[in-house]
């Protein structure tokens, strides 16, 4: 009897452990955003679920400017190349950190239509998040013409009001 009860208790706790383990696992499953992030160091972004349009936009600093330091517009680059991000008048802070006049970079690649400015920036091949506060990255693109543009997002990945965005540059990958 005692053995049976013990067995039942053990089974129950094992099941619970399994359940708890699964729970932990599922909440730690990388979100789409994390998968798309550069270098695997970022991004605490998975919990972003805006409930309405007006939420949590941050004001940008007056005169703030994002720009791509390298490559330059019209440059020809190899298939794997480095991009250096520039930001004037504001600071870089990792995603999730709500500090005034800060944000993190997002690289828009071959994007024809800009994302909504009052929503978190999507995360996919055309919208890359740098939620760890990176100011450069190495990109690998197929040969041909490509466009690159930077868009700063606040701690919730939402563009600032007004948006801090670089000029769109066109490069050729050889």
Nearer to Cu ion, 57 or 157 (CB): 157
Could you tell me how many residues of this chain bind Cu ion (CB under 5 A)?
4
Q: Which residues pair with 146 in a beta bridge?
A: 171
116 alpha-carbon distance from chain centroid: 15
Q: How many helices (H) and strands (E) does the chain have?
A: 2, 9
Minimal distance in Å, beta carbon 110 to Cu ion? 18
Under rule CB under 5 A, residue 160 binds Cu ion: no
Q: Which residues in the 120-159 window bind Cu ion by CB under 5 A?
A: 129, 131, 153, 157
Minimal distance in Å, beta carbon 92 to Cu ion? 12
* Residues with Cβ within 8 Å of residue 149, at least 6 apart in sequence: 68, 107, 108, 111, 165, 166, 167, 168, 169
Q: Which residues pair with 81 in a beta bridge?
A: 139
Nearer to Cu ion, 153 or 163 (CB): 153
Nearer to Cu ion, 129 or 160 (CB): 129
Give the number of residues written for the chain: 174
Minimal distance in Å, beta carbon 56 to Cu ion? 13
- Contact footprint for Cu ion (CB under 5 A): 129, 131, 153, 157
């Amino acid at each position: 009897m005692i053995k049976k009860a013990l067995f039942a208790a053990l089974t129950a706790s094992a099941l619970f452990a399994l359940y708890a383990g699964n729970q932990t696992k599922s909440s730690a499953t990388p979100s789409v955003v994390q998968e798309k992030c550069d270098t695997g160091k970022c991004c605490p972004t998975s919990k972003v679920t805006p409930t309405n349009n007006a939420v949590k936009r941050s004001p940008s600093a007056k005169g703030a400017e994002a720009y791509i330091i390298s490559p330059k517009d019209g440059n020809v680059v190899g298939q794997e190349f480095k991009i250096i991000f520039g930001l004037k008048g504001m600071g870089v802070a990792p995603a999730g950190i709500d500090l005034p006049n800060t944000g993190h970079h997002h690289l828009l690649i071959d994007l024809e239509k800009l994302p909504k400015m009052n929503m978190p920036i999507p995360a996919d091949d055309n919208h890359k998040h740098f939620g760890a506060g990176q100011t450069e990255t190495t990109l690998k693109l197929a040969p041909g013409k490509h466009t690159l543009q930077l868009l700063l997002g606040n701690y919730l990945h939402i563009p600032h009001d007004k948006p801090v965005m670089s000029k769109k540059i066109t490069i050729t990958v050889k």
